[in-house]
Amino acid sequence: MASTVCVVGASGLVGREVVAQLCADRGVEAVHLMLRSKNEFEPSKKLIQHVIDFDGLDKADWPACDALICCLGTTIKKAGSQAAFRKVDFDYVGQSAQRARKAGASCLMVVSAMGADARSMVFYNRIKGEMEAAVAKLGFASVLIVRPSFLAGDRVEHRAGEKLALNVLKFGNFLLPKKYQSVSAHAVARAMVETLSHPTAGFTVWESDTLQKFK
């Protein structure tokens, strides 16, 4: 069991679920949150917040840890450009994984996206796929990539496109193959947190249909 876990992207929809579940897990002793700025979370003696500069990750004071759960991600619209999007979803994710590996982590879990493919003609999917390929080469004993479909849950930030899609899926979700059905942020977080106690060696990818099994 990973007793000390670092979390990147803790302030997002899945990230907050991950933090709550880690704090409730008796097998986890400490939860280090790597953040741009301090945030409000449910009080817990396990939580330690670290404010870091993601543009200077090579100089960031990274704590020793057994595992990294990375929920970091943005959208091209929010980032403002494809280059800015790539900086977050490829550079920051990869560099965070590198720092965690150097800090002793043997287990890495990353929230990617449905359709991730390094050969994709779709920019968003291609960057996600390139990120997956990059972190697979960093020397972790266990790498778990989760690829959720549309995420259901209460976001702090509102994404109009996702909200519209989820409203449509409320009425037609059951008509879609499991892989394309919406999945709750709670289930995505549960899939990763539960797996910390028995990580699979090597590189593993779970699509949305697998994530839906975790309630």
Task: Tell which residue, 156, 181, 197, 188, has the closest CA to residue 70.
Answer: 188
**What SS3 class is residue 4?**
strand
Can 124 be counted among the known catalytic residues?
yes
User: From the candidates 38, 45, 78, 128, which is the catalytic residue?
Assistant: 128
**Taking a C-beta distance cutoff of 8 angstroms, is the pair 64, 4 a contact?**
yes
Sort 65 into a burial class: Cβ within 10 Å, 0-12 / 13-18 / 19+.
buried
Crossing angle (nearest 10°) for helices 13-24 and 185-195: 40
Distance, in Å, from the CA atom of 72 to the CA atom of 214, rounded to the nearest integer, reads 21
Can 180 be counted among the known catalytic residues?
no
- For the chain, the residue count is 215
Distance, in Å, from the CA atom of 8 to the CA atom of 15, rounded to the nearest integer, reads 8
User: From the candidates 87, 124, 178, 180, which is the catalytic residue?
Assistant: 124
Catalytic residue positions, numbered? 124, 128
